Amino acid sequence: MAAANRALLFACCLTVLGCARDSNTADCVRGEDAAREQRFSNAVELLDKCLSQANLDAQARFRALKVRAFVYYELRDYTQEVSDQEAAFSIQEPAEYRDFINYALYLRHAGRFEESLRAARSAEAIEEKDGTTSMMTQYHLGWTLLELGRPREAVEAFSRGIPFQPEYPFVYWRRGLAYEALGQRAKARKDFELTAKYLSSPQQEAAAGDLLPVIRAKLRSYGLDTAKRR
């Protein structure tokens, strides 16, 4: 999972409550700490104990469910991550664009693309109401549109997001794929060149995670490679 997405997911999980360590929330806090430290199996065990408490207050339950959804995402249990996020939303309706972006991400990985698109549109609507635009909303909107076979709309979404984070390599990667789907290989190549440019540091390559070999193979098919640009 890209580091930028992990930051968005976990930052969103941490916006609800403080971390008071009373007897009812001790396991919740320890589970959250384990998630932050990427001890995901341990985090599930602790959050399970946290959520098993009948007297856990609604806000603490909401927070724990969102954190456990993040953990299940990292463990690639996409069915459970969606279930936890929806259980959290049944306690408290989402009000921040980040909540909807996380939900769109989870739904997309569960193969529920139309629902993912609606969640991304909800994030966009919140931003429009606030008079803002973010890369992450447009990136995830474009990503879902691309998965739905709507590359032209995906290009439009990616292009809207780029001015707000112009050195984000993965938006050029996915916009390049969208241009390929449209048969516009010259534009695709330009985006893949930008992918190589901004993916040329070890930190960004680490952020690519499992996607890195796929990106490198595509870049090589265009005569490009991040390793050659260092």
- Summarised one tens digit per residue, pLDDT across range 76-107 is 999 999 999 999 999 999 889 999 999 999 99
Q: Give me the domain span that covers residue 188.
A: 167-230
- What band does 15 get if pLDDT is binned at 50, 70 and 90? very low
Tell me how crowded residue 18 is: count the other CB atoms within 10 A of its CB: 9
Task: Judge contact between 183 and 210, C-beta under 8 A.
Answer: no
pLDDT score of 73: 94
Number of independent structural domains in the chain: 3
Q: Is residue 159 part of a domain?
A: no
Residue matched to tokens 């320890």: 30
For residue 2, the tally of other CB atoms under 10 A from its CB is 17
Question: Is 221 within a domain?
Answer: yes
- 213: Cβ–Cβ under 8 A, 6 or more apart, which residues? none
Task: Tell me whether residue 161 is in a domain.
Answer: no
Contact criterion met (CB below 8 Å) for 66 and 16: yes
For residue 11, the SS3 value is helix
In a domain, 162, yes or no: no
Q: Which candidate, 228, 207, 225, places its Cα nearest to that of 215?
A: 225
